[in-house]
Amino acid sequence: MDITKITAKFKELYGAEGAVYAAPGRINLIGEHTDYNGGFVLPGAIDKAIYCVIKPNGTAKVRAYAPDENPQVVSLNSEFGLEESDKPKDRWAQYIFGVCREMSKKGAKIPGFDILISGEVPLGAGMSSSAALESCVGFALNDTFGLGFDKLQLALIGQATEHNYVGVKCGIMDQFASCFGKEGSLVRLDCRSLEYEYFPFDPKGYKLVLINTCVTHMLGGEYNERRESCERVVAAIAKKHPEVALLRDANPDMLKEVSNNVSAVDYIRAEFVIEEIQRLLDTCELLKKGDYEAAGRKMYETHTGLSLKYTVSCPELDFLNEKAKECGVAGSRVMGGGFGGCTINLVKDELYDAFIKSATEAYEKAFNIKPLVYDVVIKDGARKLA
């Protein structure tokens, strides 16, 4: 990102210089559909971020500008007040408004300000551009006005913004990763207690790359169906083991005990989640040892489980995963909720060029879609730049 360019644009718009902040998008190395089951996730902040330039303006209103937005879809400028009834029409501005409102609900006094938003997190690629925007705005407001929120509170404010002002009932992982990211480390987040621990991730000799299928299969309530499957299995297990409140509390033996009391579909979905939680914990130990080849094999296991047991993959994702295996890639899997989006791949440097060429050409030939490729590096979370 050209910081000089966005600061100059801000000064042109508002007649003064502002402070510059950034908050990154994220990847999740392993641990899918574990969050709402009380398990763990293993995200990391990446070297693609949302940026903002901000300064108080001495009024009770926000003046916002988003040069990256398509003016044919939304306006570049948005001006709004900070009361509940002032919600702006532009979706991108609703994120800014929502963060302000959630902070106000917690007692913060936020005066008017001018803000410019820009970014390099690809939209719709599963790298959580929305969480990066919320984290960037939250961190900037907190620092600019001395509001006193800690990083966990900022992450929760971002999540509440999604729930209450954007209409997305997301978990906490994306905002947490954007706020707590640490260069050279992934963060293992306990989605039940919100306790966290950093694990080393500095795979010298490897590259981390996402390949975007550029497809999204809209399958209605499929996500909710899987969540309900897990809840039904928990209810069955809890009849004998009342201490089990979430699948995170269950083990394979408990699951086997209820095999005749739940449907085959619910059983195999719950089996995947229990296995995935353990797989993530095993991967953390492998990262401590610097064994990236073994960690990569865990990624393949996750993809197989997501495809065959949890059934949230699709032909395009499976194709890229198989191509990764053929090319000798250390690890590959679907990243995110499934039904489209990206594969995340851990690739040895010497195999990288051949893999990308082979995978993208074969994919385009098979599906008549040109996939997008994003190299990512693990970097720090939300921060002030200038």
Angle at 379 between CA 378 and CA 382, to 5 degrees: 135
Q: Which residue out of 90, 174, 249, 266 is catalytically annotated?
A: 174
Query: Which element (helix H / strand E) includes 112?
Result: none
Contact between 265 and 291 (Cβ < 8 Å): no
What is the SS3 string spanning 259-305?
CCCCCHHHHHHHHHHHHHHHHHHHHHHHHHHCCHHHHHHHHHHHHHH
Tokens representing 152 are 């966990």
Tell me, yes or no, if 174 is annotated catalytic.
Answer: yes
The residue type found at 167 is G
CA distance 323 to 374: 17
Question: How many CB atoms are closer than 10 A to CB 55?
Answer: 18
C-alpha span between 179 and 162 (Å, rounded) = 15
Residues 6+ apart with CB under 8 A from 149: 103, 106, 108, 138, 142, 157
Q: Catalytic positions, please? A: 174
